[in-house]
Structure 1
């Protein structure tokens, strides 16, 4: 993937498509922005979402939209306030537009299973390999979600890494829209590896290596392994126990637990997962 650069609060690179959005002109106050907010577009494609958000009569916008092939539309300069967070609250702050850069990823969001296909709210249908059954962090039951592409995740990682390293900003936090507006928003949803993404960028030994989304070729080595909503023995079970030899894909690790994907996603104790022989 070609390199990106920051030039005068704009992205530069072969994958970057500048788009004018003159409705946003207020500058951040000194010391801001210090947060990146990750969203999904819930739209048909990246270009149509970018065209929609740049309209003068639409009271919403974002700094970037990242397409499914890793292309990046920039609507608003990074030193300028965009209207992506709306009514929001987190850690004692409200109205996060004043503190944050908004990155939208082209993704349909929640899907409904219709026969053998999966339908978005706007009618477009997707196939099984584009859908993931998972429990949202603010919900208790699994539903279907549109998956993200590795190219999107990597483009988002590169952008966030540039912003974090740049002395022009004070980025110390990455949040999902679902975390600053729970009950009102569900993006980026459980198909985006938000916890691992921000942990690798902000807290662990940071490298320029792509974020690996999953570990495949793992199997259950217990007779019956409970799969839970959260990484805790007290958490609610989300499905029937997994049987010995069940193949799983490990999506995330946390405090001695794996978040795994089979037909659904949930958390299991990592001690009962081993590499397939």
Structure 2
């Protein structure tokens, strides 16, 4: 698989009307469609009134449909930040994998996020895991078929070969609203991030000693990655810091006064 003129060669292309401004791709963002088939996602992205879109829709049988050239913006990320970069629509290629997302276990069996009953044998297997964004207890996450993941990996590799991709992220980790969960714990994210190899550029590796600016009036510096860690210092808007590691939505920084952890969403590349 290869990219020619900002499109995957040999893949069906259906133009979405949603988006279209020029971008220079720096990231790949992984999503699930929250639906049962590719056509419903394609129809949604073709509908101007939906105001959503993505570059690729990848069906459970591995069929790929492209809906926007890779050098054009789609509306897939919403309010977002990743590695200090905000508004990922302007920087990321969106992958939509057909997958219903989380299911709940009720007294009558499994139900989807819309309250519709789901036969347990509809999907090959499940990952059972909690997610505080959607409630307490465990949820059932349908496993992505092997052929679907292989198609996604092939597309990602072709894009990495064609563009200077710096990172691969989930919609959940970049979402600043706190309610997105895709692509979920059943998605093999590590298989995708491993593709970056020598091209990898994240705060743990290639971005070490690259400066970031604080983009909020005041920001707590904590002793670890999370609000459960004590505040050990503070930085303010315009301060220059250096990211040397990440964990979830937190960045380990070097700053004038020491080292600590801050929420990544309040950093911006200098």
Alignment of 1:70-89 (within 5 A): 70-89=62-81
Q: Separation in 1 of the partners of 2:191 and 2:28?
A: 12
Cα shift at 1:23: 3.4
- 1:44/1:124 contact within 8 Å kept: no
Q: Separation in 1 of the partners of 2:161 and 2:131?
A: 30
Cα shift at 1:53: 1.5
Cα shift at 1:117: 4.5
Normalised to the residue count of structure 1, the TM-score between the two structures is: 0.64
Could you tell me which of 172, 185, 193 is aligned with 2:188?
193
Q: Could you tell me which residue of structure 2 aligns to residue 143 of structure 1?
A: 139
Q: Separation in 1 of the partners of 2:60 and 2:83?
A: 32
Correspondence 1:155 to 2:151? yes
- 1:136/1:190 contact within 8 Å kept: no
Q: Could you tell me which residue of structure 1 aligns to residue 246 of structure 2?
A: none
In structure 2, runs of 5+ residues without a counterpart are 201-270
Q: Could you tell me which residue of structure 2 aligns to residue 6 of structure 1?
A: 3
Correspondence 1:52 to 2:44? yes
Of 136-145 and 111-120, deviating more is: 136-145
Residues 116 and 204 (structure 1), Cα distance of their counterparts in 2 relative to 1, 3 Å cut? farther
Could you tell me which of 125, 128, 139 is aligned with 2:118?
125
Greater RCO, 1 or 2 (C-alpha within 8 Å, sep 6+):
2
Q: Separation in 2 of the partners of 1:116 and 1:11?
A: 44
Q: Could you tell me which residue of structure 2 aligns to residue 63 of structure 1?
A: 55
Question: What does the per-residue CA deviation read over 1:158-189, in whole Å, with 9 as the maximum and x for residues that have no partner?
Answer: 011001111xx211210000110162210000
Residues 133 and 97 (structure 1), Cα distance of their counterparts in 2 relative to 1, 3 Å cut? same
Correspondence 1:20 to 2:12? no
Cα shift at 1:116: 7.3
Q: Could you tell me which residue of structure 1 aligns to residue 264 of structure 2?
A: none
Alignment of 1:1-277 (within 5 A): 4-13=1-10, 16-28=11-23, 32-114=24-106, 117-122=109-114, 123=116, 125-128=118-121, 129-136=124-131, 141-166=137-162, 169-181=163-175, 183-194=178-189, 196-203=190-197
RMSD: 2.4
Q: Could you tell me which residue of structure 1 aligns to residue 239 of structure 2?
A: none
**Counterpart secondary structure, 2:173:** helix
Q: Separation in 1 of the partners of 2:132 and 2:145?
A: 20
Question: What does the per-residue CA deviation read over 1:223-264, in whole Å, with 9 as the maximum and x for residues that have no partner?
Answer: xxxxxxxxxxxxxxxxxxxxxxxxxxxxxxxxxxxxxxxxxx
Q: Separation in 2 of the partners of 1:171 and 1:33?
A: 7
Residues 154 and 117 (structure 1), Cα distance of their counterparts in 2 relative to 1, 3 Å cut? farther
Q: Could you tell me which residue of structure 1 aligns to residue 259 of structure 2?
A: none
Residues 181 and 26 (structure 1), Cα distance of their counterparts in 2 relative to 1, 3 Å cut? same
Cα shift at 1:94: 1.4
Q: Separation in 2 of the partners of 1:23 and 1:142?
A: 35
Cα shift at 1:49: 0.9
In structure 1, runs of 5+ residues without a counterpart are 207-277
**Counterpart secondary structure, 2:103:** strand
